[in-house]
Amino acid sequence: MVAPQIPLIRFPAFKSFQVDNYQLFPGKNGEGISHEFEPGVTVIAGVNGLGKTTLLNLMFRMLVGPRDPKKSGMLQFGARAHELVSWKNSIFFTSRVGDGAANATMSAVIAFGNEEIRIKRNISNLEIIELWRAGKELDPNEKQYTAAVLDASGIADDYDFDFVVRQLVFFLEERIPIVWSEQNQAELFRVLLCESKVAAELSGLFDEIKDIDSQYRNLRWHLNKRKDELAQYHGSSAEPATLDELKAKIQAQESLAAKATDYEKEIDRVKRKRSKMQIDIQQQKLELEEKIRAHQGFQQVYLSSRFPELPDVARYVFSNLLADSGCLVCGNRKTDTAIRFRRLLDQGNCPVCESPPEEQETRPTRGRANAQEVKKSAQEIQAQKRDLASLESELGKLEAGLLELYGTQSRTQSSFFQLTTDVNLLRAKLTPGEGAAEVESYITSMEKELNNYEAQLAEKRRKYEKQLKVLRRQAEQYASRIKRHFESYAGSFLAEKCTISFTNFNSFVGQEGPSFEYPCFQVLMTSAVSPKRPTVRMKVTDVSESQKELIDLAFRMALISTIATRGQGAMLVLETPEASLDSIFVIEAGKLLRKFAESTQGCHNRLIASSNLTNEKMIPALLGLVPDGTPKTKPAEVRRRVINLLKLATPNAAYVKNKKKYDKMLESATDGALD
């Protein structure tokens, strides 16, 4: 088998960024903002209302221009086409200033690995006014820019480039999740892991299938309407009673068909729930087994010293009883002899005949496993058994419900088939009326068209599945590396053990037809109630707010680190990372971000984060000014790594009122390194 080609994606990274004549950022002496970004962390420091978000949005729009994905519901992977349309909120930058940003411009040097693109845009309408690539001037327009960017980044098309910038590179206030959205993961894998031709084919086929599926369903609806119409024509020459009966039966038939679909969906949902529960039970059983084994371990050691001549089988039986694992002799798994056995052994009595030590032939040796430890593990076993029992009871109920659903579904189907027969018989009784032939011919042509759509769909789906196989294979190839990077990042800031596991999920393209299998990762993490066994966290609500964001951040970094391993470097832009973090996590998050930015594999990553002065720890943590075992950043370097909006932005009322306080806060956050 030929190994799939490994794509070479180069992420965009700002080397410099400049804003001129924009009233929100007059800068010192009206020079605007001009910043050279060094590899590592850069902080945009400010307070509310000074323009942190606006500056980040300028950077974002510099890269993607005045366009947005067709459907703005970015979380609805299945609901949008891979297409960009004009930016709807085009007054975003102009409405923030008094002069409508008439002469405002922004310029940047954007690196893609070793390649550079220099670009200047009007801020008011984002029009490109200068464009250079590798020292050569290009026609300043969006088309040339897109072509240059796609060529330099190795990304398939403009939609995909936009997706990478929007979803992966920029982590703005909306915090669009990646690891918590299987669909977003799959989309990113397509863009980042597949050769550009395959990536483009997958998105193209996806859109085509959705489109044809929609037309197909539309046509089918019209066809059914026409069929009803035909019944009317036929009915014109029939007995009214027959016609009424036919109408009633057709209605009942439609309602049953809808019910059957509902039952099918419900059965599918319950089956998925059952499968998850079965896995939970399997995991819990394994965990229980582990606890029992530890308990048996303690007991076996004791039993061996206490009754050295006891045969293996007997010892095995006793240790099972002691560990509450059940009676191997009679097969009862819910015995309650453990307490009695433990008491007897504690007193040195024989566990079988209860004889006291002085009456036994073999005098017992003293000493046994640590009583506290044994007691604790016995309690843990009891607790786990209770959990397991309640889970098993839940599963039992679920299975009973499923059985009932199957019964109802089967009865519905029988009724449906009976009605279909009745309808056909009644229809056969009708004679065609005037105009029926025309409708019939129309129906025939529509049916032909419908068959044509079906054939097209089958062909497109076949091709899509073929390319999906490539995507799955590529994801498999990279999965271990992504997991390793993730564990390294997550391990450095989460107290709980957190990992990701490679798996897949099924999703439909369009509303009907077969589901397709996409690669994805699921998060597993330990918790207070399950400190040893990491449990699967499927949804974002399965973790705390802080954990949610940090885990997603670690996943982004893992993806970027996996792709950008050939010394190309990458950029990550974060809006106020402290916003949803517990203060205890702030220093850890700072460490994590620095770890990414200071990645030593020749990657020279750049991390740009805006931060609010009101959280006193975030800026020092990002700049390496808190004691974390690494050398403190020198003042000159701190100056190069801060964009100070207190000095560069137009002061707002809050800043004017609290100038001294805010200046002092910044001074304290930067160790007095700024001018």
Partner 1 sequence: MILKDGTASMGRRIWLLLLLRACARAGLRPVSKLRLHRLIFLSNCLAPVYGETPLDEKVIKYKWGPYYPEAQWDIDRMAIQGLVALTDVEVSKDKRNGWWLHANYELLAKGRELCEEVIEVMLLEKVFEFLSELAHGYATLDDAVLDNVALKDATYNAPAVAEWAPIDFSEIKNNYSALTASAFGDLLPIQVSPNAREQVQLYLRYLARVAKKNFVNN
What the block records as the tokens of 345 is 């052994």
Q: Closest by alpha carbon to 535, among 588, 496, 487?
A: 496
Q: At what angle do helices 240-306 and 312-322 cross, to 10 degrees?
A: 120
- Residue among 247 and 293 whose Cβ is closer to partner 1: 293
Contacts of range 460-464, beta carbons closer than 8 Å, 24 or more positions apart:
460/205, 460/208, 460/209, 460/212, 461/209, 461/509, 461/513, 461/514, 463/201, 463/205, 464/202, 464/205, 464/206, 464/209, 464/509, 464/516
CB of 185 to partner 1, least distance (A): 13
CB of 437 to partner 1, least distance (A): 49
Please give the Cα distance from 336 to 343 (Å, whole number): 13
Where are the extended beta strands (E) located within 361-404? Answer: none
Q: At what angle do helices 583-597 and 436-491 cross, to 10 degrees?
A: 90
What the block records as the tokens of 405 is 């659903």
- Strand 33-36 and strand 515-525: the pairing is unpaired
- Residue among 282 and 451 whose Cβ is closer to partner 1: 282
- Residue among 103 and 332 whose Cβ is closer to partner 1: 332
3-state secondary structure of 283: helix
What residues does 119 pair with on adjacent strands?
108, 131
CB of 329 to partner 1, least distance (A): 6
CB of 277 to partner 1, least distance (A): 11
- Residue among 397 and 664 whose Cβ is closer to partner 1: 397
- Residue among 210 and 342 whose Cβ is closer to partner 1: 342
What the block records as the tokens of 499 is 């990992």
CB of 296 to partner 1, least distance (A): 6
- Residue among 316 and 442 whose Cβ is closer to partner 1: 316
Q: Is 202:156 a contact under the CB 8 Å cutoff?
A: no
CB of 297 to partner 1, least distance (A): 4
Q: Closest by alpha carbon to 427, among 419, 417, 438?
A: 419
- Residue among 108 and 193 whose Cβ is closer to partner 1: 193
- Residue among 235 and 534 whose Cβ is closer to partner 1: 534
- Residue among 200 and 381 whose Cβ is closer to partner 1: 381
C-alpha neighbours within 13 Å on the C-beta side of residue 81? 13
CB of 353 to partner 1, least distance (A): 20
Q: What is the phi/psi pair of residue 649, to 5°?
A: -95, 160
Give Cβ neighbours of residue 286 (< 8 Å, ≥ 6 apart): 533
- Residue among 79 and 301 whose Cβ is closer to partner 1: 301
- Residue among 255 and 275 whose Cβ is closer to partner 1: 275
Q: Is 522:538 a contact under the CB 8 Å cutoff?
A: yes
Q: Is 502:524 a contact under the CB 8 Å cutoff?
A: no
CB of 579 to partner 1, least distance (A): 29
DSSP code of 358? Answer: G
CB of 517 to partner 1, least distance (A): 7
- Residue among 258 and 286 whose Cβ is closer to partner 1: 286
- Residue among 35 and 295 whose Cβ is closer to partner 1: 295
CB of 367 to partner 1, least distance (A): 16
- DSSP of 607-622, one letter per residue? EEEEEETTSTTHHHHH
What are the CA-CA distances from residue 507 to residues 172, 282, 485, 502, 504 (Å)? 27, 26, 27, 17, 10
3-state secondary structure of 515: strand
- Residue among 304 and 421 whose Cβ is closer to partner 1: 304
- Residue among 15 and 533 whose Cβ is closer to partner 1: 533
Please give the Cα distance from 156 to 141 (Å, whole number): 19
Q: Is 210:510 a contact under the CB 8 Å cutoff?
A: yes
Q: What is the phi/psi pair of residue 122, to 5°?
A: -70, 140
CB of 275 to partner 1, least distance (A): 7
3-state secondary structure of 130: strand
Q: Closest by alpha carbon to 104, among 162, 170, 51?
A: 51
CB of 504 to partner 1, least distance (A): 8
- Residue among 252 and 317 whose Cβ is closer to partner 1: 317
Residue with structure tokens 């690891």? 179
CB of 59 to partner 1, least distance (A): 33
What the block records as the tokens of 642 is 């801060």
CB of 304 to partner 1, least distance (A): 8
What are the CA-CA distances from residue 28 to residues 25, 43, 478 (Å)? 9, 18, 47
CB of 293 to partner 1, least distance (A): 5
- DSSP of 200-264, one letter per residue? HHHHHHHHHHHHHHHHHHHHHHHHHHHHHHHHHHHHTTS-HHHHHHHHHHHHHHHHHHHHHHHHH
CB of 4 to partner 1, least distance (A): 14
Q: Which residues bind partner 1 (CB under 8 A)?
A: 275, 278-279, 282-283, 285-286, 288-290, 293-294, 296-297, 300-301, 304, 312-313, 315-317, 320, 325-326, 328-329, 331, 333, 396, 476-477, 479-480, 482-483, 499-504, 517, 521-522, 524, 533-536
